[in-house]
Amino acid sequence: MPSNVSPISHASKSTLKEELRDLIAEIAEIDTIPDEAAFKDLGIDSMMGVEIVAAIERQYHVKFSDAELSQVTTLNRSYDLVLGKLPQTAAAAG
Amino acid sequence: MSARRGVHAVRVLYQDTDQARVVHHASYYRYLEAGRIEFWRARGFSYDAFEKETGLGLPVAETHMRYRASARFDDLIEVETWVDVATRASVWFEATIRRGATVLVESRVRLACVCFADGQIRRIPTSVLDACLEPGHDA
């Protein structure tokens, strides 16, 4: 893990989701990204999904496998995937 | 001619034309494909080898065509091809097809990357991106 990536705290988890919401909204040029809305229903196609993954990888210094590419289907799913790749603090775990 | 552009010459066959005795609009897609393949070949990238070695393909995902003039049987036309944008998600090729100084077609074609085994999308491999950004030796 790069040294500039800090363990994520409980407080920053909600920030993370909002950051992802903003990032996806910007790439997809959509105002609102509901938590559970399927990307395909929002007009986000598979190529845009790859763009979203590439942006997430750059911003959070994480890597998605090929299999995970197809799992980026909603904001919540994206959040879970990113969260699972970021180091957790003790407070967050509690 | 920019070093980042490729030029591929094509002689129009009779089978490329339609009842109106001009090149059918769909025939231009074959010329554009040939232009892309030769663009890569001039940069040391074999699309055939790429498919065989990686199990990946680069299908056309989106096209924009503007037909400005007609070509006819036995015309010698040139397909000028270049890459507009290349990212890990897709590659946008642009091309102009000319007969002499006359522009026949202007196009934009977007390629994605898929895995043949599962049909799922993949990132564009760096080998493809490198070939798209290589100056090439056809300039």
B113: closest chain A residue by CA: A47
The answer to whether B89 contacts A50, with C-beta atoms less than 8 Å apart, is: yes
B55 DSSP 8-state letter: S
According to the model, what pLDDT value does residue A8 have? 62
On the 0-12 / 13-18 / 19+ scale of CB atoms within 10 A, A21 is middle
Once rounded to an integer, what is the mean pLDDT over residues A74-85?
A: 94
Query: Mean pLDDT for each 10-residue chunk of chain B (139 residues)?
Result: 83 97 98 98 96 97 98 98 95 98 98 95 95 75
Distance CA(B97)–CA(B104), nearest Å, equals 5
Q: What is the CATH number of the domain that holds B102?
A: 3.10.129.10
Question: Is A49 in CB contact (< 8 Å) with chain B?
Answer: yes
CATH of segment(s) A10-88? 1.10.1200.10
Q: What is the ipTM of this complex?
A: 0.72
B40 part of a folded domain: yes
Q: How does pLDDT run across A15-66, given as a tens digit for each residue?
A: 999 999 999 999 999 999 999 999 999 999 999 999 999 999 999 999 999 8
- Provide the residue range defining the domain that includes B66: 5-133
Domain ranges of chain A: 10-88
* Domains identified in chain B, total number: 1
Mutate to test the interface with A, among B85, B118, B121 (most CBs of A within 10 A): B121
Question: Which residue in A81, A51, A55 sits closest to A67, CA to CA?
Answer: A81
